[in-house]
Amino acid sequence: MLSLRYLSHGFRKLFGNKELVHSLQPNVRTKSSKTFGQPTSFTRPHILRPGELTPKVNADEYRARRDNVAALMQEGDLLITTSAAVKYMCGAAFYEYHQDPNFYYLTGCLEPDSILLILKEKDMFENYKLAFFLPPKTSYAEKWEGFRTGIENGKILFHIENIQENWEAPFVIEEFGNRCKRVFYNTQRGYPYKDPVASSPDVVRDKIRELQEKKPFRSANELLHPLRTIKSESEIACLQHAANISGDAYKEVMAKDFYEENQLAAELEYRFKMGGCQRSAYVPVIAGGRNGLCIHYTSNDDAFQQNDMVLVDAGGEYGGYVTDISRTWPTGRGFTPAQRDLYQAVLNVQKKCIDLCTSSSGLSLARIHYESAVLLKEELKQIGIYGSKSEIEDVLYPHSIGHEIGLEIHDCFSNNSFSPLKKNQIVTIEPGIYVPVNNRWPKWAQGIAIRIEDSILVGEQEPIVLTKDAPKEVKEIQNLRESAAW
């Protein structure tokens, strides 16, 4: 690894360019012609504070993450992570770009067609080689596709000295590949299982396929998920910020009436973005009435019926970090007695399970799920709904109590759900009930679907509910619905 002294010397050489120095002054808008492939604190001070590479995270933290992953690697290991591919709806129309979470975690880079290589040469903490590749900065590409950072600005922006244009990456992959014993590759989800390199930038795809035939390949998640699961202070700040904005949005929409599901979906997305989130964290569930019986209902195109319930699962994303909230409330002016009884039963289970989200409890998410099923069975008995353990878990409550969140909505999915929770993990707690339209169940409960979900920061002795601003108490919701207006 390059020493800080060498890096400082490199920066002094770069800073010989006075125009560049001026353009990179934090919190200052300049008339410099320098442009970048992502927001910076000097071009977008309304998004980033001085020193931040991405919201609330500085370049030094990204460098520490690279050090940490290198420390987990063995001598002769090569880690290859690449940016996410641009995905197209049709023809030249592309989907909104979203960076690959592993690549983002290690670099803070938002550009496509980028590659990061880490080669562990000796079994020592600092002895690794790093190479970072960015798209060439050309006037033609910037005219048609948007600004790019380029090598000169990238060295300062990312605090990485060895940056090259991405067309050089195949040669370095071949060099590193000849020197490595095994490869950890960042396989991206959503691409053919038999062709794990399908998501790689075009410029390196063939070279990685060649390497795959010569060296054993393993998933980069083995190295990165254990690191990503424990959140830093800056990551927690991002997640809390997303949760605050999202919670306020829920408060606003609960106090309004909507004719259709898509209107409520549009209002939520609007409030997420107006509050400061970059986007919705995922395609929301806006399920009126019996539509809520489908766990991942995302059509969001039905009309609401009076005195139904609406189950909403939605959250905002800030700085790449997501929040996950589910709430259920009446479309009318308040809960019916049946709705209130079922809702309170689920809420009681949720609160008890949240209390278990501590490292001192020694419990895993799998164990908390088991407890949630036991608790729900008892709560339902109190209101006259009787079911066996299998009926509860297979019919009325068919999903897990929760999952991790972070850079992904199901973050660090390769982690073992039977491992005890650790301090500064962030998980969801989301019990639910979905009563089929079936005479096996009481008539008054049929067709009712309820899910209550919060994002929880695992503490040592006490959990912290990040999404506490989203109303969930019966009285809170009742008051909002009674005052609802168009």
Q: Would you say residue 29 has pLDDT above 70?
A: no
Of 380, 408, 407, which Cα lies nearest the Cα of 395? 380
Q: Which amino acid is at 426?
A: I
Tokens 């959140």 label which residue? 231
Predicted local distance difference test score (pLDDT) of residue 265 = 98
Q: Would you say residue 17 has pLDDT above 90?
A: no
> Six-digit token pair at 214?
């010569």
> Six-digit token pair at 283?
């395609």
Q: Would you say residue 149 has pLDDT above 60?
A: yes
Q: Which band of pLDDT confidence, cut at 50, 70 and 90, is reported for residue 159?
A: very high
Q: Which long-range contacts (CB under 8 A, 24 or more apart) does 173-179 make?
A: 173/80, 173/117, 173/204, 173/207, 173/208, 173/211, 174/207, 174/210, 174/211, 176/78, 176/117, 176/119, 176/129, 176/131, 177/78, 177/211, 177/214, 177/215, 179/76, 179/78, 179/119, 179/121
Is beta strand 316-318 parallel, antiparallel or unpaired with respect to 279-280? antiparallel
Give per-residue pLDDT as tens, 373-384.
999 999 999 999
Q: Give the CATH fold of the 230-482 domain.
A: Creatine Amidinohydrolase (3.90.230)
Q: Would you say residue 119 has pLDDT above 60?
A: yes
Q: Which amino acid is at 334?
A: G
Predicted local distance difference test score (pLDDT) of residue 125 = 58
Predicted local distance difference test score (pLDDT) of residue 195 = 81
> What is the enclosing helix (H) or strand (E) of 311?
strand 309-314
With contact defined as beta carbons under 8 Å apart, do 153 and 106 qualify? no
Predicted local distance difference test score (pLDDT) of residue 24 = 47
Q: Would you say residue 32 has pLDDT above 70?
A: no
Helices (H), 355-463: 365-382, 389-391
> Six-digit token pair at 54?
């991405």
Give per-residue pLDDT as tens, 272-284.
999 999 999 999 9
Residue 301 CB-density burial (10 A; 0-12 exposed, 13-18 middle, 19+ buried): exposed
Q: Would you say residue 154 has pLDDT above 90?
A: yes
> Six-digit token pair at 471?
């109303």
Q: Would you say residue 18 has pLDDT above 50?
A: no
Give per-residue pLDDT as tens, 389-438.
999 999 999 999 999 999 999 999 999 999 999 999 999 999 999 999 99
Q: How far apart are CA 137 and CA 178, in angstroms?
A: 30
Report the SS3 class of residue 196.
Answer: helix
How high is the mean pLDDT of the chain? 92
DSSP state of 101: H
CATH of domain 4-227: 3.40.350.10
Q: How far apart are CA 24 and CA 22, in angstroms?
A: 5
Q: What is the mean pLDDT of residues 329-340?
A: 96
Q: How far apart are CA 113 and CA 149, in angstroms?
A: 12
Of 115, 65, 114, 79, which Cα lies nearest the Cα of 228? 65
Predicted local distance difference test score (pLDDT) of residue 5 = 33
Q: Which band of pLDDT confidence, cut at 50, 70 and 90, is reported for residue 33?
A: low
Q: What is the mean pLDDT of residues 301-314?
A: 96
3-state helix, strand, coil in the chain (%, to 5): 40, 20, 45
Same fold, 4-227 and 230-482: no
With contact defined as beta carbons under 8 Å apart, do 321 and 238 qualify? yes
Q: Residue ranges per domain, the chain? A: 4-227, 230-482
Predicted local distance difference test score (pLDDT) of residue 188 = 85
Per-residue burial over 38-54, b = 16 or more CB atoms within 10 Å of its CB, e = otherwise: bbbbbbeeebbeeebbb
